[in-house]
Amino acid sequence: MFLDQRALLLGLCTAGLLACGGGGSSSGDGSGSTGGTDTQTSAPTSGPSGTESESDTEDSADETGDSGPQPGEQAPSARPRVKFKTAERYAADLSTALSLPRVALCSELDAFDCIGVHRIALGEVDAFGLRLFEPLETTPITAPIAVDRIALSACGERAAQDFADSGNAASFQEVAGGDASGASDRDAVVARLYRQLLLREATDAETDAVTSMYDDLPESGRAQTWAQMACFVIATSTEALFY
List binders of other proteins among 130-149 (CB under 8 A). 130-132, 136-146, 148-149
**With b meaning 16 or more CB within 10 Å and e meaning fewer, what string describes 67-102?**
ebeeeeeeeeeeeeeeebbbbbbbbbbbbbbbbbeb
DSSP letter for each residue of 18-70: S--TT-SS---TT---SHHHHHHHTGGG--TTS---HHHHHHHHT-TT---PP
**Beta carbon of residue 152, minimum distance to other proteins (angstroms, whole number):** 5
Q: Closer to other proteins at the Cβ: 33 or 161?
A: 161
- CA distance linking residue 128 with residue 35, whole number of Å: 23
Stretches 21-29, 95-103, 173-181, 201-209: which one binds other proteins (CB under 8 A)?
Answer: 201-209
Residues 9-68 interacting with other proteins (rule: CB under 8 A) = none
Rg (alpha carbons) of the chain, rounded to whole number: 18
Interface residue with other proteins among 187, 188, 191, 201 (CB under 8 A) is: 187
Cβ contacts of 230 within 8 Å, gap of 6 or more: 186, 189, 190, 193, 210, 211, 213
**Beta carbon of residue 55, minimum distance to other proteins (angstroms, whole number):** 9
Q: Does 204 bind other proteins (CB under 8 A)?
A: yes
Stretches 26-34, 38-46, 72-80, 90-98: which one binds other proteins (CB under 8 A)?
Answer: 72-80
Total residues in contact with other proteins, by rule CB under 8 A: 78
Site string for other proteins, 146-185 (x = CB under 8 A): x-xx--xx-xxx-xx----------------------x--
Alpha carbon 131 to its chain's center: 31
- Using left for φ > 0, alpha for ψ between -120 and 50, and beta otherwise, residue 28 falls in left
Residues 110-129 interacting with other proteins (rule: CB under 8 A) = 110-112, 117-121, 126
**Beta carbon of residue 212, minimum distance to other proteins (angstroms, whole number):** 4
Residues 205-234 interacting with other proteins (rule: CB under 8 A) = 205-213, 215-218, 225, 228-229, 232-234
